[in-house]
Amino acid sequence: MISKSVKDTIEAGAALARTLKKGDVVALIGDLGSGKTVFTKGIAKGLGVKNPRYVNSPTFVIIKEYIGRLPLYHFDLYRPDKTSVLDAESYEEYFYSDGVTVIEWADKIRELLPAKYIEVRLSVVGENKRKIEIKKR
């Protein structure tokens, strides 16, 4: 799909969230500014997280947790060395939990992702336009 605004990107994330179940992992892939965090706000909205507008990138803390219909575990792997940080965070506890895990920059840890996950590719196609591709892996 083509998102023409932040609102469209949030709604795309919310629509996906309504189909998610416990243990789902959503792997977000895209360049800086492609809409990964905005899409995550939409997932939070769709999961019923209170005040999803406060969802922001956990760049400096690696993971943030939010409470909704299902817990939302939001990872951002932009800065850290992928494996050492994830080992320290016991990532498998999140990937195989009772919540939904969303990982920004998931392409950095492709080999650590579970066998089944949802890949969301976001790309800039114009000043306010984003291409959003969703695939089950």
Per-residue pLDDT tens digits for 68-125 = 999 999 988 886 555 555 554 577 788 888 999 999 999 988 888 999 999 999 999 9
Q: How far apart are CA 101 and CA 98, in angstroms?
A: 10
Per-residue pLDDT tens digits for 14-44 = 999 999 999 999 999 999 999 999 999 999 9
In single-letter form, the type of residue at position 19 comes to T
- DSSP label of 90: T
Fold for the domain defined by 2-136: Rossmann fold (3.40.50)
What residue ranges do the domains of the chain occupy? 2-136
CB neighbours of 122 closer than 8 A, spacing ≥ 6? 9, 28, 29, 30, 34, 35, 36, 39, 130, 131, 132, 133
pTM score, whole prediction: 0.89
Task: Please report which confidence band the pLDDT of residue 46 belongs to, taking 50, 70 and 90 as the band edges.
Answer: very high
